[in-house]
Amino acid sequence: MKVLVTGGAGYIGSHTVLSLLENNYDVIVYDNLVNSSVESLDRVEKLAGKSVEFVEGDICDKAALSHVFKKFKIDAVIHFAALKAVGESAQIPLSYYQNNVHGSVCLLEVMQENDVHNFIFSSSATVYGEENEVPYVETMKLGTPSSPYGASKVMVERILADMTVSNGRFRGVSLRYFNPIGAHESGGIGEDPTGIPNNLLPYVAQVAVGKRDKLSIFGDDYPTKDGSCERDYLHVMDLAQGHVAALNWLNCNDEFRGVEAFNLGTGNGISVFSIVKAFEKATNKIIPFEVSPRRAGDLPAFWANANKANKELNWQASRSLEQMMEDTWRWQSNNPDGYLT
């Protein structure tokens, strides 16, 4: 089975490509390399002992996408290609809607033109918005997210729902997940943000390796146990395996039509301060930090109820917080400059 992975050279994408190869899928990666490196795929190939077809291209380029579909005879698509920084999305919302929403429409149009109907969407817990109470469950209505990033994910989920009405053959899975952290246990692939990291743990790791002077913690006055934001952090390899489980689920349910949503998470909210302490404990490194003003778009706390994925996808987040920290440090300490090392 040939699987097209858009954004497959990125952080979550590269780990998912590795899991797909390990599960005997043929993989074609389509990525514009704006926030990623083709070196990640070279390392994936070495870890898996298998090759990956790579095409450099933009998700909004329908002509390039059409060429890929015709050349490789795609059977299914896993769609990661998106801008993903909550804070940045408030500063440049048009870029987020252009890439995340318009890009997804371009991809879905090309899929339909080429008679491809199996689609797994990399969504987000932010689709639940501020109205829904935690823990989030899939039966909740889509909310009103506090950032353009989250709004872009809601828009795509609504587009997918409309697709099922107009296209009776469409089979979609929307994976709503939380904060992936960690790296492959080999230390060969991991998170390599371009410029200043937008996410917590890569920033912590860069402070530990000496690339950054100190960590900024955005707000310590939230209504949480220690005043910092609480999130559902899960290991990136658990998340990658969740995407493979979703693809396997589609393959085993030939009669399924429509779109099904699944939360992927641990079911536990962990604070920013707790993450810093856990990293220090796992690595024996001291992380200097300062408290900065809150970021636009950040909610105090959210985490998942992943019972549906546990039951229907036979998937569960199994790696501990300690392992997430250790794998992050193995990656960062072995690759202080990321894939440029």
Q: Which two tokens stand for residue 167?
A: 């296209």
pLDDT tens digit string along 117-154?
999 999 999 999 988 999 999 999 999 998 999 999 99
What is the set of domains in the chain, with CATH numbers? 2-181+232-266 (3.40.50.720)
Average pLDDT over every residue of 50-69: 98
Res. 195: pLDDT tops 90: no
H/E stretch holding 261 = strand 258-264
Q: Which two tokens stand for residue 301?
A: 């706390």
Contact 89, 83 (CB under 8 A): yes
Res. 296: pLDDT tops 80: no
Q: Which two tokens stand for residue 119?
A: 């689609």
Other Cβ atoms less than 10 A from the Cβ of 44: the count is 28
Tell me which residue of 196, 210, 204, 219 sits closest to 280, measured CA to CA.
204
Res. 304: pLDDT tops 90: no
Buried b or exposed e, range 121-152, using 16+ CB within 10 angstroms: bbbbbbbbbeebebbbbbeeebbebbbbbbbb
pLDDT band for position 341 (cuts 50, 70, 90): confident
pLDDT band for position 299 (cuts 50, 70, 90): confident
pLDDT at 62: 98
Average pLDDT over every residue of 171-175: 98
* Residue that has been written with the tokens 């039951």 in this structure: 311
Average pLDDT over every residue of 44-63: 98
Tell whether omega for the bond before 180 is within 30 degrees of 0, i.e. cis. Answer: no
* Residue that has been written with the tokens 């898996």 in this structure: 48
pLDDT at 198: 85
Q: What are phi and psi of 134, to 5 degrees?
A: -85, 150
In sign, the C-alpha dihedral spanning 149, 155, 159, 162 is positive
Other Cβ atoms less than 10 A from the Cβ of 214: the count is 11
Average pLDDT over every residue of 14-43: 97
- Number of C-alpha atoms within 13 angstroms, CB side, residue 155? 16
Res. 317: pLDDT tops 90: yes
pLDDT tens digit string along 234-291?
999 999 999 999 999 999 999 999 999 999 999 999 999 999 999 999 999 999 999 9
Res. 52: pLDDT tops 80: yes
Cα gap 225→220, rounded to integer Å: 10
C-alpha distances in Å from residue 151, one per residue of 89, 130, 177: 10, 12, 15
Average pLDDT over every residue of 24-28: 98
Query: Residue 86 in 3-state DSSP?
Result: helix
Cα gap 341→337, rounded to integer Å: 5
Percentage of the residues of the chain whose pLDDT score is greater than 70: 100
pLDDT band for position 178 (cuts 50, 70, 90): confident
**Of how many residues is the chain composed?**
341
Q: Pick 146 or 218 by higher pLDDT.
A: 218
Catalytic residue among 149, 177, 222, 233: 149
pLDDT band for position 292 (cuts 50, 70, 90): very high
Tell whether omega for the bond before 288 is within 30 degrees of 0, i.e. cis. Answer: no
pLDDT at 55: 98
* 149 in active site: yes
For the chain, the average pLDDT equals: 96
pLDDT band for position 6 (cuts 50, 70, 90): very high
pLDDT at 268: 93
Q: What are phi and psi of 148, to 5 degrees?
A: -60, -35
pTM, two decimals, is: 0.96
Cα gap 52→209, rounded to integer Å: 31
